[in-house]
Amino acid sequence: MANGMWTDIACLVVTCTMVNHMGLVDAVEGVLKFKLPVINCPKCFTFWSVLVYLLIGRAPVIQSIAMALVMSYTALWLWLFMGYLDSLYNWVYGKIYKQSETK
């Protein structure tokens, strides 16, 4: 695989994970009033995005499937890490802006 492909794959993993983590997929589903089950899962969205990207780039099929599986597993851990960062953010926010200070 070319060096540019690795950057693209990393961007796909981060993008697929973040749009789910931030609730953007849920917002799109709300507007469309239609469920998007493959896109609504960071693992699935990452798997299919990476697989299609690699196959369009003419990577070997077996290598493409393996890479898509590894990246979908990576997306799972990235999603967990983003959840931890959310918890950390909420804790810090609570320390800075105490409940008694709110009006």
pTM: 0.85
Query: Is 21 a member of any domain?
Result: no
Query: Is 70 a member of any domain?
Result: yes
Query: Is 97 a member of any domain?
Result: no
pLDDT class of 101 with cuts at 50, 70, 90 = low
Query: Is 84 a member of any domain?
Result: yes
Query: Is 9 a member of any domain?
Result: no
Q: How far is CA 32 from the centre of its chain?
A: 21
Convert the pLDDT of each residue in 27-46 to its tens digit.
Answer: 999 999 999 899 999 999 99
> Is the separation of the CB atoms in 43 and 73 below 8 Å?
yes
Q: Domain range for residue 55?
A: 35-92
Query: Is 72 a member of any domain?
Result: yes
pLDDT class of 102 with cuts at 50, 70, 90 = low
Question: How many domains, in total, are found in the chain?
Answer: 1
Q: How far is CA 103 from the centre of its chain?
A: 36
